[in-house]
């Protein structure tokens, strides 16, 4: 079945640094979603992408829908402490069931 | 609009017991999906209900079941609990098409 591979698995960064993470698949997706999950809470939708090549921003977050439809990227600029959490990519399969990456854990060094 | 609500937020049970978790979707949303999340893992899909019918099912044993009511509220039941069932159970709602899912805060289940 379809799978999403997220990398890196975790990131240790300094406050103020920019962050990049990505999600790849061996098959095509028509929608890419990026979620963030804070500890003990459910994931919250950050950005939704619907067209190949699309670049969408939400504040300091920018996500891109890869031109091949097999990948997506999420960038966070000038990270702050509240950016800590787990970032997931997801995309719907042909039955509209969401397929999820394993997540990228963001940790900010004090 | 109120978000997705889940009750209870925390639950402690012992092996062999059963448990029922509840989810109220966003008003107007007809699709409810359930996920299991264990530490360090992504979200594992359990099942999806749409208009009171199970539309999709993940690879979980028959001890995991669910239902949806006419008001779109959903319940999930786990019978004969095992230690490995300890997890965060998340419910998400959507309007049913390719639209994105909106999650509740989850129910954290601990099986002793």
Under 8 Å between Cβ of B61 and B69: no
Under 8 Å between Cβ of B71 and B52: no
For position B1, what pLDDT does the model report? 65
For position B99, what pLDDT does the model report? 62
* Cβ <8 Å between A100 and B88: no
Question: In chain B, what residues touch A96 (CB-CB under 8 Å)?
Answer: 56, 97-98
pLDDT at A89 over 90: yes
Under 8 Å between Cβ of B103 and A43: yes
* Cβ <8 Å between A40 and B4: no
Nearest CA in chain A to B109: A40
- Give residue ranges of B with CB < 8 Å to any A CB: 4, 33, 41-43, 45, 48, 55-56, 88, 90-92, 97-98, 100-106, 108
- Sheet containing strand B64-68, strands side by side: B5-7, B19-24, B74-78, B64-68
Nearest to B57, CA basis, from B66, B68, B65, B48: B48
* Cβ <8 Å between B98 and A100: no
Nearest to A88, CA basis, from A65, A106, A66, A108: A106
Which portions of chain B are predicted below pLDDT 70?
1, 40, 96-99
Under 8 Å between Cβ of A104 and A6: yes
Average pLDDT over residues A2-14: 91
Q: What is the pLDDT of residues B28-45, one digit of tens each?
A: 999 999 999 987 677 889
| Cα B101 to Cα A3, A99, B63, B97, B111, distances in angstroms | 18, 12, 25, 10, 28
Q: How confident is the model at residue A93 (pLDDT cuts 50, 70, 90)?
A: confident
For position A1, what pLDDT does the model report? 63
Q: What is the pLDDT of residues A52-77, one digit of tens each?
A: 999 999 999 999 999 999 999 999 99
CA distance B34 to chain A (A): 11
* Cβ <8 Å between B97 and A96: yes
pLDDT at A86 over 80: yes
Q: Which of A33, A40, A95 sits opposite B56 (nearest CB)?
A: A95
Nearest to B106, CA basis, from B49, B58, B46: B46
CA distance A18 to chain B (A): 24
């Amino acid at each position: 079945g379809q799978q999403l591979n997220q990398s890196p698995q975790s990131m240790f960064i300094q406050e103020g640094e920019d962050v990049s993470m990505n999600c790849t698949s061996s098959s095509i997706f028509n929608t890419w979603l990026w979620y963030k999950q804070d500890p003990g809470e459910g994931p919250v939708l950050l950005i939704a992408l619907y067209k190949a090549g699309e670049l969408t921003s939400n504040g300091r977050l920018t996500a891109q829908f890869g031109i091949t439809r097999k990948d997506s990227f999420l960038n966070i600029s000038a990270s702050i402490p509240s950016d800590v959490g787990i970032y997931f990519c997801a995309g719907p399969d042909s039955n509209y069931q969401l397929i999820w990456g394993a997540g990228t854990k963001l940790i900010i060094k004090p | 609009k109120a978000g997705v609500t889940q009750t209870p937020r925390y639950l402690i049970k012992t092996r062999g017991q059963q448990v029922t978790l509840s989810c109220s979707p966003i008003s107007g949303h007809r699709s409810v999906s359930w996920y299991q999340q264990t530490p360090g893992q992504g979200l594992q899909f359990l099942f999806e209900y749409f208009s009171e019918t199970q539309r999709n099912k993940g690879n979980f044993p028959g001890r995991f079941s669910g239902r949806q009511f006419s008001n779109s509220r959903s319940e999930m039941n786990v019978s004969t609990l095992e230690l490995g069932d300890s997890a965060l159970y998340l419910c998400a709602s959507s309007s049913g098409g390719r639209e994105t899912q909106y999650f509740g805060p989850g129910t954290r289940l601990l099986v002793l």
